[in-house]
Amino acid sequence: MFKRLALLVTLVACSNLSAGQGYIYEDDLLLDTFPTDFQWGVATASYQIEGGWNEDGKGPSIWDTFTNGTTNIDDQSTGEVACDSYHKYKEDVQLIKNMGLTSYRFSIAWTRILPQGTGTANPEGIQYYKNLITELRANGIEPFVTLYHWDLPQALEDLGGWRNPDIASWFEEYARICFTEFGDDVKNWITLNEPWVVSVQGHGIGDHAPGLQGIGTTVYEVSHNLIRAHAKAYRAYHKDFAAEQGGFVGITLNVDWAEPQDPNDPSHQEASENNLQFSIGWFAHAIFKDGKYPGVMRQKIDAKSQEQGFEKSRLPEFTAEESAEIKGSFDFLGINHYTTHIVYPEIGSIDEVSYFLDDDTTDYQDSNWYPSASSWLYVTPFGIRKLMNWLKNEYGDVPIYITENGYSDHQGNLDDIHRIYYYKHYINNLLKAVKQDNVNLKGYFAWSLMDNFEWARGYTEKFGVHSVDFTDPARPRTPKASAKYLSQLASRNGFTSSVGPCSNGR
């Protein structure tokens, strides 16, 4: 699934697609509003915006190592300065305030709090986030804080990082410091951002830090420890902090919608289901259902591992104690969603040991869809509504936040009509999911507040609703048209007949 090779241009004829088939259609907009307590926000992540990479006692992270003096990043850039939010956080808060948004999702750099990953905490690093949180609160903006958005302390990587089972305790120790220091003012915590990406891109393909390539093996060890770590932090919060602080802890998972190529063919429906179980279910099933991996993963990976001559299944098992700790370790589900793939069944060869072959599906994206600057991101607004319904069916009525959703271009121009189109139609599909399908969606965070360090793509792909001039040491920010569009949606809490371009029905 989601093979890099499968960035395919499809030959599927689209001329006869009906709305029901789902590849290409544009519904009329629903002119209605979200529930009154709906949260509107923007999101960022520490390494992508902060800079200040070695200031005030911060320790090096795996992204400092991965970017520094290597060819891992397209434009050979790093996050050493990035948007300089380490110094410009007050301005960032004003950008959010000016948009009239109610919340901000940012992440804490573990290396600012614990430069060596464990042990002695760094008061200056703690102070930076206290200042940011105070500034947000003073401006009426609710912080949603991610504890881990990929910048692992290098000191812990040197001990095996996410491959070392001890990391669950290291993460708990770090999380407890954050709960203690910031928990009076932070009521919404996200343990991990996109453990799928940490596993697959960090430890499978290796295009992300720490750059390991164990696509059929290491990825499953790493995901196992990520889930264990998440659960430990969740349990620590509810054991020792929740009663006093009254907050909530969730996890953010990335998932693309898997559209069956032929929605009437049961084998294609099954491929879609399996694809979703291998992507989001890999992490969500144990947490939101029963403390175990999805049955289809257990069955397929066990069988393939045996045929491939492994002594044990490549998919580890949770102990009974771990299962009990993991099951139910959530107060909400955070979803990062961007795009859709068309999926059909294809038995994966066992000659090659790969996560991408384990699910016996293959996929592509339709070349008729609007593209973006990111090879993987095609504009498919219908997918987000189908996904919301799938999540509701699969995991019940859990509160959901869209913790990221957004669109990239190369130019970073201010009149960013493509991004407005994207937000308009994705958010309107979410509105339909809430109003017509009764999905329990609590809030929406656009990715991203501003153009920033886009990981292996450096500064070449821009997701911001503010542009940043990276050639100017002052890193000035300028709102794009999409910032104004989002602030209109937020101020009206949805769609009314006069919101934005082309809003009358379409």
Which residues bind to ligand GBE, rule: CB under 6 A?
A: 2, 4, 45, 48, 193-194, 197, 200-201, 205, 254, 336, 338, 376, 404, 447, 454, 463
**Start-end of H helices in 41-166:** 46-49, 62-67, 85-99, 110-113, 123-138, 154-157
Q: How far is the CB of 44 from ligand GBE (least distance, A)?
A: 9
- Of the pair 200, 420, the CB lying nearest ligand GBE is at 200
- Alpha carbon separation from 255 to 1, 116, 334 (Å, rounded): 12, 32, 10
Question: Closest Cα partner for 410 from 120, 74, 48, 171?
Answer: 74
Contact 340, 388 (CB under 8 A): no
Identified catalytic residue from 194, 322, 325, 454: 194
Q: How far is CA 303 from the centre of its chain?
A: 30
Q: Which residues contact 321 (CB under 8 A, 6 or more apart)?
A: none
Question: Closest Cα partner for 431 from 30, 22, 19, 27?
Answer: 30
Q: How far is the CB of 474 from ligand GBE (least distance, A)?
A: 23
Contact 253, 284 (CB under 8 A): yes
Q: How far is the CB of 257 from ligand GBE (least distance, A)?
A: 13
- Of the pair 34, 356, the CB lying nearest ligand GBE is at 356
- Of the pair 273, 454, the CB lying nearest ligand GBE is at 454
Contact 229, 171 (CB under 8 A): yes
- Of the pair 135, 363, the CB lying nearest ligand GBE is at 363
Identified catalytic residue from 50, 172, 404, 461: 404
Rounded distance between C-alpha atoms, residue 177 and residue 113, angstroms: 8
Amino acid at 163: R
- Alpha carbon separation from 461 to 388, 409, 454 (Å, rounded): 27, 6, 6
Rounded distance between C-alpha atoms, residue 229 and residue 53, angstroms: 25
Active site residue 135: no
- Alpha carbon separation from 306 to 63, 303, 310, 311 (Å, rounded): 36, 5, 6, 7
Contact 479, 465 (CB under 8 A): yes
- Of the pair 122, 199, the CB lying nearest ligand GBE is at 199
DSSP code, position 289: I
- Of the pair 45, 384, the CB lying nearest ligand GBE is at 45
Q: How far is the CB of 51 from ligand GBE (least distance, A)?
A: 16
Q: How far is the CB of 256 from ligand GBE (least distance, A)?
A: 7
Active site residue 346: no
- In sign, the C-alpha dihedral spanning 372, 61, 183, 168 is positive
245 bridge partner residues:
none
Amino acid at 192: L
- Of the pair 181, 194, the CB lying nearest ligand GBE is at 194
Q: How far is the CB of 205 from ligand GBE (least distance, A)?
A: 5
- Of the pair 194, 322, the CB lying nearest ligand GBE is at 194
Q: How far is the CB of 9 from ligand GBE (least distance, A)?
A: 17
Q: How far is the CB of 137 from ligand GBE (least distance, A)?
A: 25
Q: Which residues contact 49 (CB under 8 A, 6 or more apart)?
A: 82, 83, 85, 92, 106, 449, 450, 452, 453
- Of the pair 126, 212, the CB lying nearest ligand GBE is at 212
- Coil, strand or helix: which one is 447? strand
- Of the pair 310, 390, the CB lying nearest ligand GBE is at 390
- Alpha carbon separation from 428 to 377, 378, 437 (Å, rounded): 19, 17, 13
Residue 419 phi, psi dihedral angles, 5° rounding: -65, -35
Q: How far is the CB of 201 from ligand GBE (least distance, A)?
A: 5
Q: How far is the CB of 5 from ligand GBE (least distance, A)?
A: 9
| CA atoms within 13 A of residue 452's CA, in its CB half-sphere | 24
Rounded distance between C-alpha atoms, residue 4 and residue 133, angstroms: 39
* Residues designated as active site: 194, 404
